[in-house]
Amino acid sequence: MQKKVLILDGHTRQVLPIAKALYKRGHHVTILCPSKTSLGYVTRWQHQRIIGPDAKVSPQDFTDFLFDLLIHQKYDLVIPLFDYSAEILSLNKEKLEKLTKVAVNDYETFIKARDKSQTMQVCMDNNIPCTRTYYSGVEDIPKDIKDAFIYPVVIKPVAAESARGFHCIHQPAKVNEVFKDVVSKFGKSLVQEYISHTDLQYKCEVYIASDNKVKAAVVFSKVRWYPVEGGSSTFNLTVYRPDIVDSCIKLLKIIGWKGYADVDLIQDPIDGIAKIMEINPRITGSVKIAFDSGVDFANMIVDDIFGKNIVPVSYEIGRGLRLLHTDLLWLLKSPDRFKSKPCWFNFFDGKSSDQIISFDDPLPCIYYTIDNLKKLFTGR
């Protein structure tokens, strides 16, 4: 069952394991990239590469380009890898499905996952462990609600990738000022309880097939991250946490989710409970760890969409995934550089790999290094 697959967002890290898995299975892989330095443009795991608008920078241009591409070229399936393209596909799903199949949920379901305030409300309504949300919206915070806050609190957008717009507020007097600033830059925002980062954070990657059955659930911990005070993971490790799996599956099934989803959690050092923070309604940058541990989400997507029966799979515990480029920065900045477990200097245990570095596909590492050095020295 060989298919012609169009992968969007070729500038993301997750394009590498997704493209490789589909390519090696025999599917025809085309990658849409915003530039010739994109990882998806230089990887060997593609049959065709196309330069087009960035969904984040120019959403309307991207939408018009995508429709034009699908009208003039035949693709069996389109897979988005980033929030902005995933939302565009979901919003236009009915029109797009006249041209091809798209690996997204309908918009009503998608936005329940994309909008953190809706996600948290579902959790609170159904007794699913989560970070308590005090308020969400675009208006000034009512005084009676603000008086009920337990400080410190977190202010962040309801829809933004990574830690964009994230603020931790310790002083009640600053809440309204910061909230207004975040709303002005990112739109609808929320105020949540703050959970100390002294314990681990987790991700749970789940696949719920069209028959509403869970086919895979991979849990991994964020062992190290950069910036060290709170940022994106630099080293991950697969772990056994059935409690996390149960919470995430319960949430996803309540909102009616189908396909792949990634859920972020943080373990509260006070009660030891892993609490849901948000759903990423697209394939995450750390997805390679799932492939390394025995779960091929890429071909699971294709098989499910085209009606092939999927046998549930388990994953290997103890697999590690590093992003050396930022893990080096963690080593330079962290006071725990010699205390990390697993040891930072353990490169040859046979149980870990890198998100970018690969001997059978060397160009992405070279281009990724050059691109990040440019950003370091130019500030862009």
> Could you write out the DSSP letters of every residue in 152-203?
SEEEEESS-STTTT-EEE--GGGHHHHHHHHHHHHSSEEEEE---TTS-EEE
Task: Spell out the per-residue pLDDT of the chain, length 380, in tens.
Answer: 799 999 999 999 999 999 999 999 999 999 999 999 999 999 999 999 999 999 999 999 999 999 999 999 999 999 999 999 999 999 999 999 999 999 999 999 999 999 999 999 999 999 999 998 898 888 888 888 888 898 999 998 987 666 678 888 888 888 888 999 999 999 999 999 988 877 789 999 999 999 999 999 999 999 998 888 777 899 999 999 999 999 999 999 999 999 999 999 999 998 999 999 999 999 999 999 999 999 999 999 999 999 999 999 999 999 999 999 999 999 999 998 988 888 999 887 889 999 999 999 999 999 999 988 877 777 55
Contact 70, 77 (CB under 8 A): no
| Whole-model pTM over 0.85 | yes
pLDDT at position 171: 84
Residue among 349, 365, 355 nearest 286 (CA): 355
pLDDT at position 379: 58
pLDDT at position 163: 66
Contact 27, 52 (CB under 8 A): no
pLDDT at position 144: 84
pLDDT at position 58: 97
Chain-centre distance for alpha carbon 278: 10
Q: How far is CA 277 from CA 163, 187, 194, 263, in A?
A: 12, 19, 11, 8
For 253, counting Cβ atoms within 10 Å of its Cβ (0-12 exposed, 13-18 middle, 19+ buried), the class is middle
Domains of the chain with CATH codes:
4-107 (3.40.50.20), 132-193 (3.30.1490.20), 201-354 (3.30.470.20)
pLDDT at position 380: 58
pLDDT at position 267: 94
Q: How far is CA 225 from CA 32, 276, 329, 351, in A?
A: 29, 18, 9, 19
pLDDT at position 121: 94
Q: How far is CA 60 from CA 52, 54, 57, 229, 259, in A?
A: 12, 10, 9, 36, 26
Measured from the Cβ of residue 266, the count of other Cβ atoms closer than 10 Å reads 20
Helix (H) / strand (E) element for 244: namely helix 242-255
Contact 89, 110 (CB under 8 A): no
Give the single-character DSSP code of 76: S
Chain-centre distance for alpha carbon 174: 30
pLDDT at position 225: 87
